[in-house]
Amino acid sequence: MLNKIAEGKTKIVYSSTSSDEVFLKFKDDITALDGEKHNVLPGKGVINAKVSAKIFSLLEEKDIPTHFVKLVDDTTMKVKKLKMIPVEVVCRNVAAGHLVKNYPFFRKGDKLKEPLIEFFLKDDLHHDPLLSEEHLKIFGLMEEKEIENVKRITRRVNEVLREFMEKLGLQLVDFKLEFGRDKEGKLRVGDELNIDCMRLWDLKTGESLDKDVYRKGESLEKVLQTYTKVYKLIVGGEI
């Protein structure tokens, strides 16, 4: 790892000796409410790095283009350098979170007829506003063809993740992806893929096993217990 290029709420980006690759180091920080709520949860960096590495490997095995290269230590992934698109792509299978809060059509837990894909601008100051496909094109965020490509890849990620989680006894309620373009301009899934960016409910009991436990104000001990439980299911073994 060479120089720090950027630091976000939960990760640090470092340059590498290759101009095409960077390192992503996961911090122990946990945040919610557009960064207004913040704590440090010792061990979370390891959990999120290893869960991300596992899920990215799974997607790569299914020929889904991602930025993942390899896990280099307990908290660091080597990834392909991407020009990130500042858009959060959310895919929902079951109604929860903002879908229930902002619209009158569903109650929490209602299954959607088909997966719903939404776009949000990545901008905490403006509280990540919803973007239509017209917004994406007119704001210069994505071209028509890229939008179609992003939706196709997101649906595929959903199929792979849903099946994987179901086998572990978890229901994949929703998740968030971020995309970037590699040096050839090819779209790849970037950022992270772990318990921070998806809702997982116990298939039998409906218990939340994700960051909602933190959002709802449970103790940090309970939050770490939840993250550890999901880590053991997804990655296997001790941390």
Query: Binding segment for ligand 5GP among 15-23, 66-74, 139-147, 195-203 (CB under 6 A)?
Result: 195-203
Which residues, in sequence order, are bridge partners of residue 68? 79
Query: Binding segment for ligand 5GP among 15-23, 68-76, 97-105, 144-152 (CB under 6 A)?
Result: 97-105
Minimum Å distance from CB 90 to ligand 5GP?
A: 5
Residue with the CB atom nearest ligand 5GP in the bound state:
97
Residue 86 or residue 169: which is nearer to ligand 5GP going by CB? 86
Which of 23, 175, 227, 231 binds ligand 5GP (CB under 6 A)? It is 175
Total residues found in the chain within this entry:
239
Which of 211, 213, 226, 231 binds ligand 5GP (CB under 6 A)? It is 211
Q: How far apart are CA 151 and CA 120, in angstroms?
A: 14
Q: CA dist 16 to 45, 79, 160, Å?
A: 20, 10, 31
Q: Do residues 124 and 34 touch, judged by C-beta distance below 8 A?
A: yes
Minimum Å distance from CB 68 to ligand 5GP?
A: 17
Query: Binding segment for ligand 5GP among 151-159, 160-168, 169-177, 221-229 (CB under 6 A)?
Result: 169-177
Minimum Å distance from CB 91 to ligand 5GP?
A: 8
Question: Residues 192, 171, 204, 225: what is their CA dihedral angle, to the nearest 10 degrees?
Answer: 10
Residue 2 or residue 6: which is nearer to ligand 5GP going by CB? 6
Residue with tokens 């100051």: 125
Instruction: For residue 162, state whether it binds ligand 5GP (rule: CB under 6 A).
Output: no
Token pair recorded at residue 38: 């913040």
Quick one: which of 162, 160, 188, 189 has its CA closest to 177? Answer: 189
Q: Helix, strand, or coil here: 51? A: helix
Q: How far apart are CA 90 and CA 112, in angstroms?
A: 14
Which of 8, 43, 65, 97 binds ligand 5GP (CB under 6 A)? It is 97
Query: Binding segment for ligand 5GP among 56-64, 68-76, 93-101, 223-231 (CB under 6 A)?
Result: 93-101
Of the CA atoms within 13 Å of residue 228, those in its CB half-sphere come to 11
Q: Which residues of this chain interact with ligand 5GP, rule CB under 6 A? A: 88, 90, 97-99, 174-176, 196-199, 211
